[in-house]
A = this chain, B = another copy of it.
Amino acid sequence: MTTRPLRADARRNVEAILDAATATLARDPDASINDIAKAAGVGRVTLYAHFENRGGLVAAVVERAMREAEASLRDVDLSGDPAAALVRLIDATWQVTLRYGALVVAAEKSMPVTEMAAAHSEPRARAQRLIDHGRALGRFRTDLPVSWQVTAMHAVTHAAATSVYAGELPADEAARAIAATMLGLLTPPGQVVPDVDALRVGR
């Protein structure tokens, strides 16, 4: 069942289609196959030569996105000072969100809910581990549900991406803004909000 190697231009086209689909579907989840093919500089028929149907294409796109995202996030160090770890996690998360955030949101519609849940569960679990850690050390607030805090974190990150797309927020300020926002969001009432920049000196 090992398919034999594609010709060079075919391989190139598959990549181009995947890239175009990533960008196009992010902009419009209902983009037609035609739009995607044109954006890839390829005939519609060629696209069908490589992907069974629409579902197959978006599955491939999302799968690739998830693989790359997972790779970037896997080895973020979540130990040590929770606030510093939070900043590290956000820096890493921001990169993948900027590239794939809109796509994932777009895909949420055309994908089975279970798959979407699976896609989000890993990043959510990571964030939750971090928050639990910070709570255990008394550094993060405990008067709100953890699941809500994770959701809010997710939402703020997506909002930043939208903001950047809209040109309201410069891309290079985004990570700092998210981190600052999040730090405030997690600090317990009655405690002092830590300064972001002190935690981000390494950048």
Which residues of chain A have a CB within 8 Å of any CB of chain B?
30, 141, 143-145, 147-149, 151-152, 154-156, 158-160, 162-163, 168-169, 173, 177, 180-181, 183-196
In the bound assembly, the distance between CA atoms of A127 and B146 in angstroms comes to 26
Known: A159-B154, A189-B196, A195-B189. A180 touches B144 (CB 8 A): yes
- Which of A30, A158, A162, A189 has the most B CB atoms < 10 Å from its CB? A189
A30 contact set on B, CB distance < 8 A: 30
Question: How far apart are the CA atoms of A191 and B183 in the complex, in Å?
Answer: 12
20 new A-B contacts at CB < 8 Å, known A151-B162, A191-B193:
A141-B193, A144-B181, A145-B173, A147-B163, A148-B160, A148-B163, A148-B169, A151-B169, A152-B159, A155-B158, A155-B162, A184-B187, A184-B189, A184-B193, A185-B185, A187-B193, A189-B193, A190-B192, A192-B192, A193-B193
* Known interface pairs A177-B145, A192-B191, A195-B190; A168-B151 also in contact (CB < 8 Å): yes
CB distance from A34 to the nearest CB of B (A): 18
**Given the complex of chains A and B, what is the CA–CA distance between A144 and B151 in angstroms?**
22
Q: How far is the CB of A90 from the nearest CB of chain B, in Å?
A: 13
Say how far A198's CB is from chain B's closest CB, in angstroms.
9
What residues on B are CB-neighbors of A190 within 8 Å? 192-193, 195
Provide the bound-state CA to CA distance between A187 and B154, in Å. Answer: 20
With A141-B184, A148-B177, A180-B143 in contact, do A159 and B155 touch (Cβ < 8 Å)?
yes
CB closest chain-B residue, reference A188: B193
Contact A151 B180 (CB under 8 A): no
